[in-house]
Amino acid sequence: MAKLHFYYGVMASSKSALLCINAYNLKRTGNKFEVIKPSVDNRDSTSKIVSRIGLSTDARTIPNLDSYKPRRDTQFILIDEVQFFSPKDIDKLVEIADNSKTTIICYGLVVDSNGNMFPASKRLFEANAEKHEIETVCEMPGCVNSASHHLRFDEFGNVIRDGSQVEVGASQYKSVCRQHFNSIYYKLPNFNLLKYMHDEKNKHK
């Protein structure tokens, strides 16, 4: 069994819920594990991972993995939001996976809201992590394609095309399929989400 796993999916595809279920099962079966996630600031602290459907687990938040060392008896390391670590941090995980008996399970996004890969996710692909896609459907009304991309909107419903990769919080994002991403992001400069949703609603009245 590969010892470095990457569960990837778009926002709101239940990645954190899966992590919480995994943590619960590892605890129930008496396995030793650690849960970590990248912090947006420079603090090393304890926090909670809370999934959208209400499951939660304790986690250690760390800015990077420079001085990270798993405990000697750790069998599993679960990592949330892995895309916000750096390629160097991923190299560190590879080193741990290759030189210990610890299995590392990463959860995260692949593509940001500008259609580019997160560097850490790219590094996981390059490192041949065992990949598991968490599929979910496109959030545009009536579309049944698999969601693979994100569109980011401001409060007025306009597409943000120059946002930073590390903007957190899902409320202004939509997880969409490639076709919807390409048509809205590149071909519809004046696309407005609020107007679109309003028109869609009226269509079905």
Closest to Zn ion by CB, 106 or 140? 140
Q: Least distance to Zn ion from the beta carbon of 78, Å? A: 30
What are the φ and ψ backbone dihedral angles of 133, each rounded to 5 degrees?
-85, 130
Closest to Zn ion by CB, 75 or 136? 136
What are the φ and ψ backbone dihedral angles of 52, each rounded to 5 degrees?
-60, -30
| Bridge partners, residue 46, by sequence | 60
User: How many Å apart are CA 133 and CA 143, to the nearest integer?
Assistant: 19
Closest to Zn ion by CB, 80 or 139? 139
Task: Kindly name the residue from 34, 81, 126, 200 that is annotated as catalytic.
Answer: 81
Closest to Zn ion by CB, 127 or 143? 143
Q: Least distance to Zn ion from the beta carbon of 1, Å? A: 35
Residue 141's contacts (CB-CB under 8 Å, 6 or more residues apart) are 197, 200
User: How many Å apart are CA 112 and CA 109, to the nearest integer?
Assistant: 8
Interface residues with Zn ion (CB under 5 A)? 138, 140, 143, 145, 177, 180
Q: Least distance to Zn ion from the beta carbon of 138, Å? A: 3
User: How many Å apart are CA 156 and CA 8, to the nearest integer?
Assistant: 30
Q: Least distance to Zn ion from the beta carbon of 178, Å? A: 8
Active site residue 81: yes
User: How many Å apart are CA 28 and CA 41, to the nearest integer?
Assistant: 32
User: How many Å apart are CA 167 and CA 55, to the nearest integer?
Assistant: 23
51: tokens are: 């999934």
Tell me which residues are annotated as active site: 81
